[in-house]
Each structure stands twice: as structure tokens, then as C-alpha cells.
Amino acid sequence: MIESKQIYYHDYHELKSLAEEWGVTLFGVGDVRDILNTFELLPKDISDGLVYGISMGIRLSGRIMESIKDGPTKLYYYHYRRVNIALDQVAIMITNHIQRSNFNALPIPSSQTIDWENQRAHLSHKAIGVMAGIGWIGRNNLLVNRDHGSLVRYVTVLTDMPLKVDSPSKEDCGECTECMKICPVGAIKESFNDYNRDLCLERLKWFSKKYHIGHYICGICVKVCKGKKPL
Ligand code: SF4
Ligand code: SF4
């Protein structure tokens, strides 16, 4: 038993160092059994038995985020897309690495909202990130990491490779209200449970038209969220 545990620990650290070598800033693994029923758009036969969620994040460029004043910029849009592609590439490489060890792995694309009106996706990268100890759900309804705030984008790989799991984060936003103060439509409230996704979505649509960006992005509440350790 002790011997097999050591093998799992070795796999965790091996995957983590490979991911970091490929550009990942944050890495964690969560036991996702308790949130399997929220993977509503993933066919059961595809996700069956994949109870470990590998959460990986790449930090956004601070200088590009500084370009955001009162709405998304083209620079942010291109960066956002490139970071998503980089995450998807890392997820594919981690998937192949796991499969070479004769386990199953399922990469979930980083930006994969299928139904924007209802904000539905295959799974929530944020929820996996919480289970993997990466951070907590902030007032801005995003995953917040203590060192990097919300300035990170994420991808998930589900697997049945039995890995060491991290403990879910027990932190929260504390006294910080930076995102509440700056949201142009007042969508962010004291509790993330009261976050108004309709107000936010309307503003994203407006930005998309105003700045001719073919995507629903904003970046304002991402930019100001610096977690517990301001950079
Ligand atoms: S993305 Fe923009 S509109 Fe939506 S909550 Fe954040 S700051 Fe407000
Ligand atoms: S800006 Fe502050 S209040 Fe808003 S999500 Fe980040 S840590 Fe929480």
C-alpha cells in the first residue's frame, strides 16, 4: 500500500513539473467525485470513472491587463485567445503523458462556454480549481488565487490516474471589495452568490459590439483582483 502511494505521489510531481516546464503557473489536483453531477453537458460514458481533476492555470501578462481602462482592448483579446490555446496545448500533452501510462484522460478546453445565455459549459474550471486547492470563488464570480488573484486562466484534465489530491482552499475575499467598486454595471455584490450574471452578460455583449471584439470579454474585474498578495 505504501509502495503504491509513493508511485502516485511520483506521478503528481512528475505531471506538475512537466506542466510547469510547458508554461503552467498554477497546478493542482482535486477529487471531483462530489461535483460529478454538475458536469451536465459531459456524456456519462465519456467521463465515467474520471474522478481526478487536474487544474492548470497560466497567468496573464500584467502589462496587457494594465491596457484595460474602461473596457477590453484588442491586445487583451488576442492575449486571452493565445493563453487559452497555450492551456489547451498543455492539456493535450498532459493527456498524452497519462495515456502513455495506460490511464484515461479527458482534456476540457479552456474557453468552452457552449450556451452563453445560460452560461453553460461541459464543466466549471473554477469548481475544479477550488477542489484542487488553487483558490476560492471570489465576489467577481471568478477563481481567485492568493498569489495571482483572478489574473489566471485555467484548463482541466479529468483522469482515472490515481493521483495525490490537494485540499480545497478555505480562504475567501476577506475585506477586499475592489471588484465591487469598479464593475461598470454593479453586477458584483458582497457575496458571490448574489453576483448578477445577466447584468454582466449584457455589458459583455455591449463591449463586444462597441470594440468590435468577436467574443464576450471584459477584463475589468480580472485586472483589479490581485488576491492576498498584491503584486
Ligand atoms: S466582467 Fe466586467 S461587467 Fe462583468 S462583473 Fe466583471 S467588471 Fe462587471
Ligand atoms: S477583487 Fe477582491 S473582492 Fe473581488 S474577487 Fe478579488 S479578492 Fe475578491
Tens of pLDDT, residue by residue over 101-129, are 999 999 999 976 656 566 666 789 999 99
- Ligand 1, closest atom to CA 217? 1
Among protein residues, the one whose CA lies closest to atom 4 of ligand 1: 200
Tell whether 13 is covered by a domain: yes
- Ligand 2, closest atom to CA 224? 1
The domain total for the chain is 1
Query: Is the entire prediction scored with pTM above 0.85?
Result: yes
Full residue range of the structural domain in which residue 82 is found: 2-223
Q: Are 90 and 24 in contact (CB under 8 A)?
A: yes
Decide: 204 in ligand 2 pocket, CB within 6 A. no
Tell whether 8 is covered by a domain: yes
As a whole number of angstroms, the distance between CA 135 and CA 126 comes to 9
Q: Is 89 exposed, middle or buried (0-12, 13-18, 19+ CB in 10 A)?
A: middle
Tell whether 229 is covered by a domain: no
Tell whether 230 is covered by a domain: no
Cell of 29: 489536483
Tens of pLDDT, residue by residue over 155-196, are 999 999 999 999 998 899 999 999 999 999 999 999 989 999
Tens of pLDDT, residue by residue over 17-54, are 999 999 999 999 999 998 887 877 788 888 889 999 99
